[in-house]
Amino acid sequence: MTGYAPSEAARRSGFSLDTLRYYEKIGLLSGVGRTSAGRRVFTDEDLGWLTLFRCLRDTGMPIAEMCRYADLARAGDHTTGQRRALLVRHADRVEEQMRLLQRQYDHLREKIDYYDTLG
């Protein structure tokens, strides 16, 4: 098992140390190991969770839904349908946001093109 210091886990995940502590405090990230001196040690599995949390957060999933997903995953394989449904709902929201951003981007490009014609 490879262990990572909090600073290395933060670097690899893109989360701040404060965020890592917060995620652990609220139970989003659970079971983080400790050294005999009490320092946190992150595993590859922890980093896998953090990669998922980065994706979910970057795509706008609320913390409460992230916690729900993590709780379901820890509950076992009998929750795969619920986890899938949660991710499908989130993906649908992301897709709608992407359509909105594309429309807004197209509008911006039209404005820029207009100013380009003014010379």
Query: Residue 6 has which token pair?
Result: 């909090």
Question: In this structure, which CATH number among 1.10.1660.10, 3.40.50.720, 3.40.140.80, 2.130.10.10 belongs to the domain 6-117?
Answer: 1.10.1660.10
**Whole-angstrom distance, CA of residue 35 vs CA of residue 33:** 7
**Whole-angstrom distance, CA of residue 8 vs CA of residue 12:** 6
| pLDDT at 1 (0 to 100) | 59
- pLDDT tens for 69-87 read 999 999 999 999 999 999 9
| pLDDT at 108 (0 to 100) | 98
| pLDDT at 119 (0 to 100) | 76
| pLDDT at 66 (0 to 100) | 97
Per-block average pLDDT, block size 10, for the chain (119 residues)? 90 96 94 92 96 97 97 97 98 98 98 93
Contact criterion met (CB below 8 Å) for 30 and 70: yes
Residues above pLDDT 70, as percent of the chain: 99
